[in-house]
Structure 1
């Protein structure tokens, strides 16, 4: 994997991923920024939540769970002295679907946070990670089930 970060002005940077996507990072006004982009440390939390949500959805879809939505809210605490690393990270998963099996959702979150999510493995080196789960019932999908293609 590769990434490239280019300074724009003051404390604003453009980050370009190896896959060609760009994101603006900027600081708060009190740090010399104009608040026009995400903070670099917020990017870490976004990456953590995105990595885990990716795993959870993949696991549940493979398990044929009727998932219609997954939201991960991440709340973190940082050390008060430099380097201001994350010390506690709470992840709350809200998984919506029809007749979801709570044990399968709990297992998917556990597998993500303890086995598959690279970001969780990295963050757990310095922060206490914890998670909670809320299941939300949705109506069954009105779309016909996908059928396997025939040769």
Structure 2
């Protein structure tokens, strides 16, 4: 089991500097950095996309591009509780099997759900998959999938 440590340094200019174990820094605080709530959505799509890419690569899928967006609904007042985070996947590749993409997203969703349970976050999710073929005959297949976490 690995022990990991991350750091935060606050300075008098009201900047929060986050740093990982490899000294990579992220500035947290608008207007010069990422908001704290955006970091949660960014971590969620980072974890989800890593899972999906690893699974599809192991299944020998010719993945050419993956784009993931997260749209969140959050309370306006403290503690600014998230009500929903909607992840939208755009998968592009050649000969991509829609069932393998669906399964990869489902496995990622289950992994994230277990993590949320450990953090005692209530959740439910809904997966929506849409497929469309690019009109150009030689172009890769474009797949889109969504899953929505209701928190």
TM-score using structure 1 length: 0.75
Q: Residue 18 of structure 2 aligns with which residue?
A: 15
1:4 aligns with 2:7: yes
Shift of 1:123: 7.5
Shift of 1:22: 0.6
Q: Residue 147 of structure 1 aligns with which residue?
A: none
Change in Cα spacing, 1:131 to 1:75, as seen in structure 2 (3 Å) is: farther
CA contact (8 A) 2:116 2:123 kept: no
Q: Residue 104 of structure 1 aligns with which residue?
A: 100
Q: What do the CA deviations read for 1:20-58 (whole angstroms, capped 9, x no partner)? A: 21111113xxxxxxx011001101110100100000000
Which of 18, 38, 41 matches 2:37? 41
Q: What do the CA deviations read for 1:107-143 (whole angstroms, capped 9, x no partner)? A: 0000001136765656882454444445565746xxx
Structure 2 CA distance for aligned equivalents of residues 122 and 61 of structure 1: 28
TM-score using structure 2 length: 0.75
CA contact (8 A) 2:66 2:90 kept: yes
Shift of 1:9: 3.5
Structure 2 CA distance for aligned equivalents of residues 17 and 60 of structure 1: 27
Q: Which consecutive unaligned segments of at least 5 residues does structure 2 have?
A: 141-151
Shift of 1:59: 0.1
Change in Cα spacing, 1:12 to 1:38, as seen in structure 2 (3 Å) is: same
**Larger radius of gyration between Structure 1 and Structure 2:** 1
1:91 aligns with 2:94: no
1:75 aligns with 2:78: no
Q: Which consecutive unaligned segments of at least 5 residues does structure 1 have?
A: 28-34, 141-151
Structure 1 CA distance for aligned equivalents of residues 26 and 93 of structure 2: 31
Q: Residue 145 of structure 2 aligns with which residue?
A: none
